[in-house]
Amino acid sequence: MDPEAPTDPFEGVKKQLDIVIVGGSLGGLCTALALKSLPQRHRITILERNPTTLLHNQGAGIVAGGDTLNFFKRYDRCDRPLAVSSQRRQYLNRDGDIVHKEDMVQNMTSWDLVYYMLRANVDYVESSYCNVPAPLSDEGEVRHLHGHKVTGVEKRGTKIVVHHTTKDNDEGTMEADLVVGADGPSSTIRTLLQPDVQRTYAGYVALRGTVREDEVTPKALEAFKNRFTFFHTRGIQILAYLIPGENGTLEPGQRLINFVYYTNFPSKSLDEPSDELAKLMTDIEGVRHRITIPPGKTDPEAWEKQREIAKEKLPPQFAEIVRATKKPFVQAVTDVISSTNEFFDGQVILLGDALAGFRPHTVASTSQAAFDAMILADRLRGDVTKKEWKKQTMAYARTIQKRGVDMGNRSQHQDLPLKEHIHDRNLASKPREQESSSSSSSID
């Protein structure tokens, strides 16, 4: 080893650290759970800007990839199943006939089940989703502070000072040895440190919703039960699969059919939306949202137009579930990626969506958060060097982010034969190790 090489203060760190995690959604919770398991019993504070003690159910399905499953296998103590298993991928034509199918096992879960299982493990929040495990005697301390919006970060001596305001408009500061920005694709930490990195609109939106499986016709249920089902036509793609139902139930008949329906809405930008996009993104109370309208807030008139388009352009099974959903929501599809994941000599880092916001086609956002949390814990444990940590996290971010852009641009803005869509989808299912290895050699 080069005696002149700078040492990494976090590689195999022996002392107890003060760690601030900015963001209390899935990425922040994964990080807190992984780091609190380390033997140094680090003092961890989660700063979440949302003022409520629990984040609202986002109504979203999640494909639980290998890194997500590995994370829960390593850290979860709730002792309940996480996902619904899908055994086959299939593609429908406009008439609803199967035109391609192949065996492929994938696991599907829901945002709310993952969130409550993480809360149960991180800070022992009780819910109807799972049993809360008993605290461990040798784990780190986690404080979860809601209504805390970060306004600045600076280095002061050997510490990082985090400035914040509370929901009562009180200003405060907090010192940390390590600050983790896990605050999503609109990350405040990234914006403070890289103000030129902005989310950009991809030219289309994802219309999303769920329907309970016992509320659809037998023909529709047959298309989606234990299946990952797709339909593509010019400017449109839609997919659907089963996810856990209310309170995370996996009981047949009570699970949910989750759909993601991508459709083009040309617009110069999110800040200067076209009239059509502006109308879609204006909620039932007349408030225009920039990126996401939460479940239950979509304007009925705007949604009725989408219901009619679905009836006209989608296979009958897909049209049925789109038209039947009671609480649809809308997400503008965006791109964002940071050029680096560390600042202030590595005392401030980005992970998950704060580092690279993936397009939904990659089915990798939760897996990225899980992987980034695990490899950070491995680094602090001494199992992974800083160089390897950076190489793997940045390679993953760059490779999968680019893949999502390529997939989305091809599927939404080109008129491709079905075999090309199938190729892109199968590429998205390749294990992370195969995907990111080609990019890792260029990371310093």
- CATH code of the domain containing 359: 3.50.50.60
Residue 296 maps to a domain? yes
d(CA 258, CA 263): 16
Beta strands 84-92 and 148-156: pairing type?
unpaired
d(CA 274, CA 252): 42
State the DSSP code for 325.
-
The 3-state DSSP class for residue 186 equals coil
- State which residues form the domain around 255: 87-107+201-334
pLDDT (tens digit per residue) in 132-163? 999 999 999 999 999 999 999 999 999 999 99
Does residue 210 sit in the same domain as residue 137?
Answer: no
Final residue of a structural domain among 309, 334, 359? 334
CB hemisphere CA count around 406 (13 angstroms): 13
The runs of H, that is alpha helices, within 76-146 are 111-123
Residue 6 maps to a domain? no
Identify the bridge partners of residue 212 per DSSP, sorted by sequence position.
256
Does residue 245 sit in the same domain as residue 267?
Answer: yes
The 3-state DSSP class for residue 133 equals coil
Does residue 170 sit in the same domain as residue 225?
Answer: no
Q: pLDDT at position 327, please?
A: 93
Does residue 259 sit in the same domain as residue 185?
Answer: no
Does residue 354 sit in the same domain as residue 326?
Answer: no
d(CA 349, CA 169): 26
Residue 424 maps to a domain? no
Are 61 and 258 spatial neighbours (Cβ–Cβ below 8 Å)? yes
Structure tokens at 421: 């869509």
Q: pLDDT at position 442, please?
A: 45
Report the CATH number at residue 238. Answer: 3.30.9.60
Residue 12 maps to a domain? no
d(CA 140, CA 33): 9
Q: pLDDT at position 444, please?
A: 45
Does residue 324 sit in the same domain as residue 373?
Answer: no
CA distances from 48 to 53, 129, 165, 337, 437 (A): 9, 22, 11, 22, 34
d(CA 411, CA 424): 9
Are 73 and 65 spatial neighbours (Cβ–Cβ below 8 Å)? no
Long-range contacts of 4-13 (CB under 8 A, 24+ apart): 8/346, 8/379, 8/385, 8/386, 9/177, 9/346, 10/178, 10/346, 10/379, 10/380, 10/386, 11/379, 11/380, 11/382, 11/384, 11/385, 11/386, 12/380, 12/381, 12/382, 13/40, 13/380, 13/382
Structure tokens at 361: 């086609």
Residue 438 maps to a domain? no
Beta strands 200-212 and 84-92: pairing type?
unpaired
Does residue 248 sit in the same domain as residue 305?
Answer: yes
Closest CA to 102 of 115, 123, 124, 86: 86
Does residue 327 sit in the same domain as residue 347?
Answer: no
Low pLDDT (below 50) residues in the chain: 1-5, 438-444
Q: pLDDT at position 68, please?
A: 96
Q: pLDDT at position 2, please?
A: 42
Neighbours of 341 (CB within 10 A): 21
Q: pLDDT at position 428, please?
A: 82
Does residue 208 sit in the same domain as residue 256?
Answer: yes
d(CA 154, CA 161): 5
Q: pLDDT at position 165, please?
A: 97
Closest CA to 295 of 326, 260, 262, 257: 326
Final residue of a structural domain among 334, 350, 385? 334
Does residue 189 sit in the same domain as residue 225?
Answer: no
Q: pLDDT at position 6, please?
A: 52
Does residue 171 sit in the same domain as residue 71?
Answer: yes
Does residue 91 sit in the same domain as residue 230?
Answer: yes
Provide the domain count of the chain. Answer: 2
Structure tokens at 286: 């007349």
**Residues 6+ away with beta carbon under 8 Å from 439:** 394, 395, 398, 399
Residue 2 maps to a domain? no
Final residue of a structural domain among 305, 334, 363? 334
Query: Residue 285 burial by CB count (10 A; 0-12/13-18/19+): exposed, middle or buried?
Result: exposed
- Residue 56, amino acid: H
Beta strands 256-264 and 292-293: pairing type?
unpaired
d(CA 297, CA 283): 5
Residue 242 maps to a domain? yes
Residue 212 maps to a domain? yes
